């Protein structure tokens, strides 16, 4: 007699239970719990959560960084603002504008 699908005896060999020692997918499911599937080799996600995907490149990627808020860009803007304030102070002292 074949094992019944309701007993899930066929699933016991395949299922990765809570004691499985391998690396798990690091994604959160829609229920808010951690995904129980194994991560793909060399990846941190299973195939359902993007382990096979390399992602969109450049501006099509949702996590694309344009560089406007890098530490270097912020420091350059602050230095430029400081130069403008200094020039405005010198111009007021010279009486060029109020």
Angle, CA of 31, 16 and 10, to the nearest 5°: 110
| Arithmetic mean of pLDDT, 5-21 | 59
Statement to judge: residues 75 and 98 lie in one domain: yes
What distances in angstroms separate CA 13 from CA 8, 9, 17, 94, one per listed residue? Answer: 10, 8, 10, 86
Is pLDDT of 11 > 60?
no
Burial of 97 (0-12, 13-18, 19+ CB in 10 A): exposed
pLDDT for position 35: 86
In a domain, 10, yes or no: no
Q: How confident is the model at residue 4 (pLDDT cuts 50, 70, 90)?
A: very low
Q: Is the pLDDT of residue 3 over 70?
A: no
Q: Let me know whether 25 and 46 are in one domain.
A: yes
- The pLDDT of residue 5 is 47
**What DSSP state is assigned to residue 34?**
B
Residue 11 included in any domain: no
The structural domain count of the chain equals: 2
Is there a domain that residue 40 lies in?
yes
pLDDT digits (tens, 9 = 90+) for 43-97: 888 888 887 777 778 788 777 778 888 899 999 999 999 999 999 999 999 999 8
Let me know if residue 16 belongs to a domain: no
In a domain, 72, yes or no: yes
Q: Which domain holds residue 82?
A: 67-98
Q: Is the pLDDT confidence value at 23 over 50?
A: yes
Choose among 67, 43, 65, 39: nearest CA to 54.
43
Of 49, 4, 14, 8, nearest in space to 28 by CA: 49
Number of other CB atoms surrounding residue 79 within 10 Å? 10
Q: Is residue 88 part of a domain?
A: yes
Average pLDDT on 23-29 reads 87
């Amino acid at each position: 007699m074949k094992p019944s699908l309701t007993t899930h005896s066929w699933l016991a060999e395949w299922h990765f239970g809570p004691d499985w020692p391998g690396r798990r997918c690091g994604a959160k499911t829609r229920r808010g719990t951690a995904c129980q599937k194994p991560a793909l080799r060399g990846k941190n996600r299973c195939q359902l959560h993007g382990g096979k995907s390399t992602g969109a490149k450049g501006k099509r990627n949702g996590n694309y960084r344009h560089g406007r808020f890098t530490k270097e860009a912020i420091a350059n803007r602050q230095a430029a603002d400081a130069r403008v304030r200094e020039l405005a102070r010198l111009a007021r002292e010279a009486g060029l504008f109020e």
